């Protein structure tokens, strides 16, 4: 057959982890947002690329076919359902306001008590409960029902009719999977949640001669296991050792992660197919779905009165450092000159001591506040109203909150650790996240210089350049253009063994 008549190669994008995530979480994390934004533009970018591959999305099956195709519209529906479910209940009263003594237990106090109880459980039991969240269970159940519904053929067919990206479902009704030798199996999400992923890749290579390409986020469970549950450290290590040998190419979300993966492979004797390729990460989350009518933001602080830290509350994010910084500021400066510190995010893991300390200190009499699980509308309002943002994280694969702050026109004072200087560039200001004195110095330098802060904001507005998600998609597509022959099934089996 002439080359011009050859059918286009298909890039099969694994989205199983996307659905699995929303079985336990009502709101997307940075990984789900990043994946959605990239996939939202990937088909259009593919049609304009030299190879013009077909983009299709797949979930795992338990039968011999291993995979089945699903429409992109099913991802949209799950994300929309999560936004509606999270926005439906009234927002709880933000923590940090002065409490009456001897008051009856509040929902906030009960949730903190439950979180402390879950953290004392064995990780295999406690971690899923922490991820779900005490006040999020109803929302999780709502999203789980939708995910289950989308697994049925009727829902898949209905969703396919609304899918303008990947076209009609190509999976035959007999359950077979139409993968062809040389097709790419693209792994962009949190694949480490699947314990037998290495076995799946081996089977896909042997059965269909697919070419796996993997995007790496970070090696936090291996480099800093103290911030993770013990079972995650074990599972991630096992997943990495079983998965990397099957991947034809490796991508990374930053140069720091790329270097870390290569160093780890060298340290442990893992053989990589080639250098790890960093790809550009887009800025802003403008294409993600949201409820058609967001409820009015309630209980948010007065614009201009606060500094914002957007992140899940977990040990690695270093909220404890900012608590200590604000305690110092309240001692050294007049109260009315110290802005309120707002934590915006869900309460995660390994922070029971921090939450208890904040409660004991009455949230510094309101100078620290927590906005739990903000909706997209509330988060946008928080960015618009803050003086600047803080991001003191100890370890990041990229640092989406830094670029997101710039995208909202707000300066960011951030940690100088790992990949954060890449995401912050010359527009961010930095401090050592392990050094209380350096952090206090950096924060005071900003809040005591209003004119300098305004000049910094003006510079961000003038110089920040959005990175379109099409650049992320184009980099992924470029990495998928194969420059090596596809091995036969027998050669794959021999190599895998």
Examine residue 339 and state whether it is found in any structural domain, yes or no: yes
In this prediction, residue 135 carries a pLDDT of 39
Residues 280 and 131 in one domain: yes
Residues 195 and 96 in one domain: yes
Residues 332 and 462 in one domain: yes
Residues 58 and 94 in one domain: yes
Is a pLDDT exceeding 90 seen at residue 162? Answer: no
The whole-number average pLDDT for the span 27-45 is 92
Question: Which is more confidently placed, 354 or 94?
Answer: 354
Residues 167 and 196 in one domain: yes
Task: Kindly report the average pLDDT of the chain as a whole number.
Answer: 81
Answer whether 419's CB lies under 8 Å from 257's CB. Answer: yes
- In this prediction the pTM is 0.79
Look at the chain and report how many structural domains it folds into.
2
Separation in Å, CA 28 to CA 21, 60, 229, 454: 8, 21, 20, 32
Examine residue 169 and state whether it is found in any structural domain, yes or no: yes
- Tokens 């602080």, residue? 301
**pLDDT confidence of 202, banded at 50, 70, 90?**
very high
Percent of the chain with pLDDT over 70: 74
The whole-number average pLDDT for the span 437-443 is 98
Residues 38 and 155 in one domain: yes
Residues 278 and 313 in one domain: no
In this prediction, residue 146 carries a pLDDT of 52
Examine residue 269 and state whether it is found in any structural domain, yes or no: yes
Is a pLDDT exceeding 80 seen at residue 479? Answer: yes
Examine residue 291 and state whether it is found in any structural domain, yes or no: no
Percent of the chain with pLDDT over 90: 61
pLDDT digits (tens, 9 = 90+) for 273-310: 899 999 999 998 754 444 444 444 557 889 999 999 99
Residues 128 and 66 in one domain: yes
**Containing structural domain, residue 267:** 8-284+471-496
Q: What is the CATH number of the domain that holds 351?
A: 3.40.50.2000
Residues 43 and 21 in one domain: yes
Is a pLDDT exceeding 80 seen at residue 90? Answer: no
Length of the chain: 497
Examine residue 258 and state whether it is found in any structural domain, yes or no: yes
pLDDT digits (tens, 9 = 90+) for 349-404: 889 999 999 999 999 999 999 999 888 889 999 999 999 999 999 999 999 999 99
Examine residue 419 and state whether it is found in any structural domain, yes or no: yes
Examine residue 299 and state whether it is found in any structural domain, yes or no: no
Residues 372 and 260 in one domain: no
**pLDDT confidence of 195, banded at 50, 70, 90?**
confident
In this prediction, residue 140 carries a pLDDT of 46
Examine residue 212 and state whether it is found in any structural domain, yes or no: yes
Residues 446 and 481 in one domain: no
The whole-number average pLDDT for the span 170-177 is 52
Residues 220 and 360 in one domain: no
């Amino acid at each position: 057959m002439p080359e011009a008549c050859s059918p286009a190669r298909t890039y099969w994008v694994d989205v199983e982890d996307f659905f699995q995530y929303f079985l336990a979480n009502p709101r997307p994390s940075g990984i789900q947002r990043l994946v959605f934004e990239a996939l939202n533009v990937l088909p259009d970018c593919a049609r304009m690329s030299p190879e013009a591959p077909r983009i299709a999305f797949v979930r795992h099956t338990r039968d011999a076919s291993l995979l089945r195709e699903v429409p992109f519209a099913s991802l949209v529906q799950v994300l929309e359902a999560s936004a509606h479910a999270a926005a439906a209940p009234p927002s709880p009263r933000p923590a940090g306001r002065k409490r009456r003594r001897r008051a009856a237990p509040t929902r906030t106090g009960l949730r903190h008590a439950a979180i402390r109880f879950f953290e004392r459980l064995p990780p295999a039991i406690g971690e899923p409960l922490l991820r779900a969240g005490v006040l999020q269970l109803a929302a999780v159940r709502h999203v789980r029902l939708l995910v289950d519904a989308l697994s049925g053929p009727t829902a898949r067919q209905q969703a396919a009719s609304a899918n303008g990206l990947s076209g009609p479902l190509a999976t035959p009704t007999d359950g077979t999977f139409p993968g062809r030798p040389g097709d790419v199996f693209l792994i962009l999400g949190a694949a480490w949640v699947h314990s037998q992923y290495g076995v799946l890749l081996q089977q896909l290579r042997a059965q269909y001669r697919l070419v796996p390409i993997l995007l790496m986020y970070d090696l936090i469970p291996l480099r800093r296991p103290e911030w993770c549950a013990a079972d995650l450290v074990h599972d991630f290590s096992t997943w990495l050792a079983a998965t990397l040998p099957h991947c034809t190419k490796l991508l990374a979300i930053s140069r720091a992660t790329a270097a870390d993966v290569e160093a780890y492979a060298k340290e442990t004797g893992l053989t990589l197919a080639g250098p790890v390729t960093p790809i550009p990460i887009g800025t802003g989350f403008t294409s993600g779905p949201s409820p058609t009518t967001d409820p009015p933001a309630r209980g948010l602080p007065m614009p201009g009165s606060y500094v914002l830290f957007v992140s899940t509350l977990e040990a690695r994010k270093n909220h404890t450092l900012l608590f200590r910084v604000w305690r110092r500021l309240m001692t050294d400066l007049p109260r009315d000159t110290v802005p309120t510190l707002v934590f915006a995010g869900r309460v995660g893991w390994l922070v029971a001591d921090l939450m208890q300390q904040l409660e004991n200190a009455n949230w510094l009499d309101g100078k620290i506040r927590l906005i739990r699980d903000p909706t997209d509308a509330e988060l946008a309002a928080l960015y618009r109203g803050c003086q600047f943002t803080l991001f003191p994280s100890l370890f990041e694969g990229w640092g989406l909150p830094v670029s997101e702050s710039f995208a909202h026109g707000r300066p960011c004072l951030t940690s100088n650790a790992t990949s954060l200087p890449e995401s912050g560039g010359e527009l961010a200001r930095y401090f050592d996240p392990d050094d209380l004195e350096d952090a206090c110095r950096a924060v005071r330098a900003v809040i005591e210089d209003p004119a300098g802060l305004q000049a910094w904001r003006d510079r961000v507005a003038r110089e920040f350049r959005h990175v379109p998600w099409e650049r992320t998609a184009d980099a992924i597509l470029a990495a998928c253009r194969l420059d090596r022959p596809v091995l036969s099934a027998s050669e794959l089996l021999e190599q895998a063994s």
